[in-house]
Amino acid sequence: MNKTTILTGFVIAGCIATLIVSYLVYDSRIEAVSSETTNAPEKATKQQGTSSSDKEKPTKEDSEEEKEVESLSEQQIASLTANMDDVSSEVVTSRLQDGEKIQLLVIGSSSIEQGSPGYGELLTTNLTEAYGDWVETTTLSYNKTTASLVDDLDGVLIDWSQDYDVVLLEGMNLSNNGEVVVEDAIGHIETINKKMKQSIKDAVLVVHPSQPLASAIHYPTEVDSFKSYLTSRGFTYIDHWSEWPVGNKDDMNTYLTEDSTPNDKGAALWASALSTFFTGK
């Protein structure tokens, strides 16, 4: 056998070996790629499934936030309405038993904002603490007479579409003093009551007087007449004057500013008397 034949045999053998090795490497890579391709969707699907499960499953905190506000118990309602008259108690009780919020409109003179805070804000805070989310309070300051109030009932002053269940009205006695006689003021209150009931037939109007003064002659008499006329016509009346040191000038001055408006102490006293009626405390 000559050298050429031997060399040719080695070359052929080398080529065959190279082909075999190349084939094995190529086949190994194909299997690896196929394995990755097959496993990848399973991993993605598993991850996606876990994410979806975590998202759909509510946490304890989420459940508590989405939970509806629990209704007040019969005992709680009875306690809240303990100091109300029968008419007011019936309206408030029926709303709460039906799972409805109390819509309360508070209309006061500029005194509602006097003090830091005023009796309107203090009352709102006290009601929220007592009723929680079961009362929604709207306050309105109006510094005119009851005659003007009747003229301004509609339009931007009062939005009767809110369907107020209870309207707490300050009698505007100081604004009326010397301007509107008591008999006419009672007529204005009756007109306001009729307007309110056009929105909700069983809504209730609760009236209370403006603040007393340190020294006055005719004003207390007018307020007494105002109270007598209203109560004789069946209106609900909160007589917070019984909480003030009426008749004692020096003591009264501790509750009023130099302009005879409530100071912080006076606002707190006024709000407390109103809160007692509405919260039973």
Q: pLDDT class for 47, splitting at 50, 70, 90? A: very low
- Which of 73-77, 152-156, 191-195 has the least mean pLDDT? 152-156
pTM attached to this predicted model: 0.76
C-alpha 235/C-alpha 240 separation (Å) is 15
pLDDT above 90 for 245: yes
Q: Which of 117, 123, 116 is nearest to 138 (CA)?
A: 123
Mean pLDDT of 136-163: 93
The pLDDT > 70 percentage for the chain reads 75
C-alpha 106/C-alpha 96 separation (Å) is 19
Predicted pLDDT at 152: 93
Ramachandran assignment for 187, one of left (phi > 0), alpha (psi -120 to 50 degrees), beta (any other): alpha
Give the distance from CA 143 to its chain's centroid: 26
Mean pLDDT of 108-125: 98
Predicted pLDDT at 71: 87
Predicted pLDDT at 23: 45
**DSSP per residue, the chain:** --HHHHHHHHHHHHHHHHHHHHHHHHHHHHHHHHHHHHHHHHHHHHHHHHHHHHHHS--HHHHHHHSPPPPPPHHHHHHHTTTS-HHHHHHHHHHHHTT--EEEEEEE-GGGG-SSS-HHHHHHHHHHHHHGGGEEEEEEE--S-HHHHHHTSTTTT--GGG--SEEEEE--HHHHTTTS-HHHHHHHHHHHHHHHHHH-TT-EEEEEPPPP-SS-SHHHHHHHHHHHHHHHTT-EE--GGGGS-TT-HHHHHTTB-TTSSB-HHHHHHHHHHHHHHHH--
Predicted pLDDT at 69: 57
Mean pLDDT of 227-240: 98
Edge to edge, the sheet with strand 102-108 lists 135-141, 102-108, 166-170, 204-208, 236-237
The mean pLDDT of the chain is 83
For 72-279, CATH number?
3.40.50.1110
Prior bond of 209 cis (ω within 30°)? no
Q: Residue ranges per domain, the chain?
A: 3-65, 72-279
Other Cβ atoms within 10 Å of 6 Cβ, number: 10
Q: How many residues does the chain have?
A: 281
Q: Are 131 and 158 in contact, with CB atoms under 8 Å apart?
A: no
Phi, psi of 262, deg, nearest 5: -65, 135
C-alpha 98/C-alpha 162 separation (Å) is 18
Q: pLDDT class for 4, splitting at 50, 70, 90? A: very low
